[in-house]
Structure formats: structure tokens, C-alpha cells
């Protein structure tokens, strides 16, 4: 067992990569709805059945690994500044989840793929669903970090911050893309949305 991967594992990855590459190309050319899963498989030169052995849903081929988002969020919670209140910690977690990328600069990755991900209502919805699914684990992580927190309160906090950040980012990205915005403007918009979503609160207290 060295760090190297066996031939089997390498071939599996090749197949997966081929599917991702084919999907990105076809969807960029024709749009998500105009491409069938079978076509993606065909373009990657594998059987249609194989597509669904690698991805749980057609949308997932554009979204990377779901664990990645959740793990990034959990890591951010565990790396919290002990002085921060839960909401602030969660704000960092939300930013980490939304920007989590396979490698390299996260916001660049997201900016470049924003058109693919947010260009279809279905893919957007699937992304939301996946972030939602990760909430349970995030709540556990938050309660570990703040043992005094009530269970329902923790859930509400996690949902509030994660959901808020996700919707805020989704909304501005779609708007910028509809306006013909390029990768840079998408990145700036994401930053703005995260800032607004996580600063929160009425200015002072009237």
C-alpha cells in the first residue's frame, strides 16, 4: 500500500474524469436540459449505466464531491476562534462550504464554473439540497464546539446561516450571469453576498 494508486483505481478515476470533462463540454455547448445523461456517457465512451455508478444524479457530475463541502464546513467550525460566538463561526463555515474547491483557489474555481452550476434551475436546486443534507453533521460539529447550545437552537442557527449564505450567493450569481457578467464580476458578487449574508443584523439596536 504505497501512496500510489493501483491500476484499477486509476482507471476508475479516468472514467470519472472523462465523464466530468464530457459533461462540462456538452453542457457548456447546449445547456443542461438539452443534454441527456446517456449522451454524456456516450461522449465519455462508457455505457449509460456506468454514469450512474459514478454519480447519484445527473446534476452531480457538475457539482464535484458533496463530502467536500460538508468537510470544509466542519473543518472551519473546528478551527474556530474561541472568542467568536456561534453565528460568527458559522459564517466562516458557510463561506468555506460555498467556496470549497477540489484544489487551488476556491473562488476562482467557483467563478469559472458558476455559469454551469447556476445556469440551470435543476443544478442549483440540487446544490441547495446537498448543502441542506449536510446540516445534520454541521449541527453536530457546532454543538461539539459550543456544548451549552440547545439542540433546536443549534439547528436553527446552522440553517439560518448556511441557508442564508447559499441563497444570497445563488441569487447574486444568477443576476450577474444573466447580466452577462464575466468570471471576475461573479467572484466579486460572491464576496459581496457572503459579506451581506454573514454580517447580518439590523445596524444597531434602535
Q: Between the CA of residue 20 and those of 3, 72, 90, 109, what are the distances in Å?
A: 24, 22, 31, 15
**The three grid cell numbers given for residue 96, joined into one nine-digit string:** 468555506
- Report the site for DNA in 59-88 (rule: CB under 7 A): 59
Residue 49 as a binder of DNA (CB under 7 A): the answer is yes
Minimum distance from CB of 62 to DNA (Å)?
11
Opening angle at CA 18, ends 64 and 55, nearest 5? 40
Minimum distance from CB of 21 to DNA (Å)?
14
Q: Which of 98, 169, 177, 186 binds a copy of itself (CB under 8 A)?
A: 169
Q: Which of 31, 87, 105, 144 binds a copy of itself (CB under 8 A)?
A: 87
Residue 170 as a binder of a copy of itself (CB under 8 A): the answer is yes
Residue 128 as a binder of DNA (CB under 7 A): the answer is no
Runs of H (alpha helix) within 32-85: 37-43, 48-54, 66-78
Q: How many CA atoms lie within 13 A of 52 on its CB side?
A: 6
Residues in touch with DNA (CB under 7 A): 1, 6-9, 11-12, 15, 35-38, 45-50, 52-54, 56-59
Amino acid at each position: 500500500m504505497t501512496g500510489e494508486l493501483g491500476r484499477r483505481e486509476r482507471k476508475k478515476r479516468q472514467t470519472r474524469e472523462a465523464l466530468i470533462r464530457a459533461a462540462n463540454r456538452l453542457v457548456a455547448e447546449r445547456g443542461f436540459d438539452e443534454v441527456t445523461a446517456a449522451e454524456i456517457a456516450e461522449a465519455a465512451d462508457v455505457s449509460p449505466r456506468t454514469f450512474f455508478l459514478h454519480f447519484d444524479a445527473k446534476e452531480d457530475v457538475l457539482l464535484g464531491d458533496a463530502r467536500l463541502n460538508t468537510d470544509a464546513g466542519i473543518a472551519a467550525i473546528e478551527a474556530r476562534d474561541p472568542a467568536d460566538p456561534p453565528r460568527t463561526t458559522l459564517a466562516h463555515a458557510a463561506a468555506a462550504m460555498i467556496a470549497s474547491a477540489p484544489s487551488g483557489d476556491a473562488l476562482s474555481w467557483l467563478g469559472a464554473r458558476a455559469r454551469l452550476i447556476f445556469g440551470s434551475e435543476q443544478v442549483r436546486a440540487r446544490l441547495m439540497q446537498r448543502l441542506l443534507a449536510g446540516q445534520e453533521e454541521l449541527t453536530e460539529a457546532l454543538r461539539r464546539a459550543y456544548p451549552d447550545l440547545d439542540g433546536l437552537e443549534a439547528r436553527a442557527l446552522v440553517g439560518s446561516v448556511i441557508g442564508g449564505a447559499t441563497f444570497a450567493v445563488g441569487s447574486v450569481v444568477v443576476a450577474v450571469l444573466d447580466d452577462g457578467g464575466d468570471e471576475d464580476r461573479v467572484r466579486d458578487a460572491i464576496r459581496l453576498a457572503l459579506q451581506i449574508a454573514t454580517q447580518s443584523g439590523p445596524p444597531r439596536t434602535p
